Amino acid sequence: MTKLEGKVALVSGSGRGIGRAVALKLASEGARVVINDMDKEPAQETIEEIRSLGGEATACIGSVTEADFGDRFVKTALDTYNGLDIIVNNAGYTWDSVIQKMSDEQFQAMLDVHLMAPFRILRAAAEPIRIFAKNEAQKGEEVFRKVVNISSLAGLGGNAGQVSYSSAKAALSGMTKTLSKEWGRYKVNVNCVAFGLIKTRLTQPLTGEGANIDVEGRKIAVGVQPAFIDAMEKQMIPLGRGGTPEEAANGVYLFCTPESNYISGQVIAVSGGASL
C-alpha cells in the first residue's frame, strides 16, 4: 500500500511548476488530488497525467485571490471525495521592485496571493476538519492531517528587491506556527517549506527583453539575472546547483507522510543548503 492511500489533498497552483510536481508526487503515493490553476488547460493537463498513472484528480479552476475561492476549493474536495487530509498552499508569483518604486497595488498583490489566500483556504477547512477530528476521536481513532505552507528563503532572511514578497512569506511562517497550536487538538500537523532557487518559469534566466506572465490582466515580469543564478549556484548553494520542481515536491511530501506525525509548527528550507 502507498503511504497516502485514501487521502484527499488540495494543492493550489498545481497546473504548473512546483505545484504540478507536488500534485503528481502525492498522487503517486495514493492521494486523490484537487488540482487548481487560474487557467483550465494546465490544470487539465496535470489531471490527465495523474489519471494516466492510475491516480484520481479533479479540478477547481480560478485565482486563489478570489474572495470565495477558499470555500470553493474545500467544497470541491468534500463534494468529490468526501474527505480532506492534506492542504498545500503553493500558488503564487513574484512582482519585484525596490521599495521606492513599489506601488501600493504591487505590495498588496503579494499579500493577497501569498498570505490572504492561504488564510481563506485554511479558514474554510477549519470546520470540516473539526468535525472529522471529533468523529474520529469518538471512535478512539487518531488520524493525522497535514498542512504545508510554501514560503521562501526570502521570507526567512529577506531579499533585496522583494520587500512585498518577503513580507508576505515571513508572515506565512507566523501563520504556520500559530495554526499548529490551534489545530494540534485536531491532530493536524502544520508546517512550512521555504524554497531556495528552484528552476521554474518564475526563475528562468532573463534574456533579451525578459519574460512575462499574465496574472488577472496584469503583465508581470519574471525571471532572474543570469549572473545572480550563476553566483547562487557557484557561491551560495553548497550543493552547487538550483533544485528541480521534483526535488522541491519531495520536500513538501516529507511533511505529508506518516513519518511527520509528530512534527508540527516547523519551517524547513529546501534550498540545497543555501541561506540568505
d(CA 196, CA 274): 7
Angle at 258 between CA 150 and CA 47, to 5 degrees: 55
d(CA 184, CA 70): 21
d(CA 28, CA 149): 21
Phi, psi for residue 9 in degrees, rounded to 5: -120, 135
Separation of first and last alpha carbons in the chain? 40
d(CA 106, CA 241): 30
| Grid cell for residue 222 | 519574471
Answer yes or no: 81 catalytic: no
Q: Which residues of 102-127 are buried (b: 16+ CB within 10 A; e: fewer)?
A: beeebbebbbbbbbbbbebbbebbee
Among 81, 93, 165, 186, which one carries the catalytic annotation? 165
3-state secondary structure of 50: helix
Phi, psi for residue 240 in degrees, rounded to 5: 90, 5
d(CA 220, CA 121): 24
By the 8 A CB rule, do 15 and 90 touch? no
By the 8 A CB rule, do 269 and 194 touch? yes
By the 8 A CB rule, do 225 and 208 touch? no
The size of the chain, in residues, is 276
By the 8 A CB rule, do 138 and 81 touch? no
Supply the residues annotated as catalytic.
165
